[in-house]
Amino acid sequence: ASHLGADPKITRRLTRVKHIILVLSGKGGVGKSSVSAQLALSLSSQPPPEGSTSNSTNGKAKVGILDIDLTGPSIPRMLGLDGENVRQSSDGWVPVFTDAQQNLAVMSVGFLLRSKNDSVVWRGPKKNAMIKQFLGDVRWGDLDYLIIDTPPGTSDEHISALEYLNGFHPSAVMVTTPQAVSLADNLRSLDFTRKTGLPVLGLIENMSGYMCPHCQECTNVWGKGGGEALAQREGIRFLGRIPIDPGLVRLLDDAREEAVRKEAGEVTKASDDSSNPR
């Protein structure tokens, strides 16, 4: 009965999804998409949660990642899926999978653009319609987790996603950097979660210190601990910090190239920085 009034197509898809997690950040460039991608990758490499009905065949959780950052979709690139296409089937759009076992399903407006340099210039109603299609027309199947990467701040996309997700108990993870501006922006995002009744699972401090690729020592470029203090003050869980890691930039920004090289057996380790002349 809690789904009363929801779109029937969305209800049909989302009743098969166990946990829906939105990834939020107060502002852009703090690593929200990177965290979304890493969250999806790490969940899909772990066993399904208790009570899972995803019928996973390889003992790993079934995960979907939906990129609703419509004007700046970066999930395809970060997962090495630039240039891939979604397929239309009789039962809706087939998402792009990162792996042969189909543990991680990916959907992004990036797959629908002709060129990766095309941009989406849409008004609210068209964005609404796209998000509705992403939730109701994509063949997500039985998922343990659906991770939703949202645009920075709080915008049309957040409001319409939450409307469509009403009754499906979504929750949120917040991403911030240690800098003050980012923290103030996060207060606005937190206010949004309170006004909309969206439970916050916790906060992640990203770009927290610089991890030297050579000596592994961590330098606190923009300070440290701001995220943890914010979490404490606002009564939300602090989930941990991720340092600035040049290896991560390379992996995320050149994921496609990396995947190809890996296949060719040229890449040994992410932290193996080839720019190091020593």
**Residue numbers at the binding site for ligand ADP (CB under 6 A):** 25, 28-34, 74, 152, 206-207, 242, 244-245, 248-249, 252-253
CB of 81 to ligand ADP, least distance (A): 15
CA distance 186 to 202: 12
Residue 31 vs 76, nearer CB to ligand ADP: 31
CB of 72 to ligand ADP, least distance (A): 7
CB of 74 to ligand ADP, least distance (A): 5
CB of 205 to ligand ADP, least distance (A): 10
Tokens found for residue 36? 């979304």
CA distance 206 to 144: 25
Residues composing the chain = 278
Residue 155 vs 166, nearer CB to ligand ADP: 155
Residue 28 vs 141, nearer CB to ligand ADP: 28
CB 255, CB 80: distance < 8 Å: yes
Residue 10 vs 65, nearer CB to ligand ADP: 65
Residue 239 vs 242, nearer CB to ligand ADP: 242
| Residue (of 266, 227, 278, 165) closest to 31 by Cα position | 227
CB of 33 to ligand ADP, least distance (A): 3
CA distance 52 to 169: 16
> Which residues make Cβ contacts (< 8 Å) with residue 262, sequence separation at least 6?
none
Q: What is the DSSP string of 134-154?
A: HHHSB---SEEEEEEE--SSS
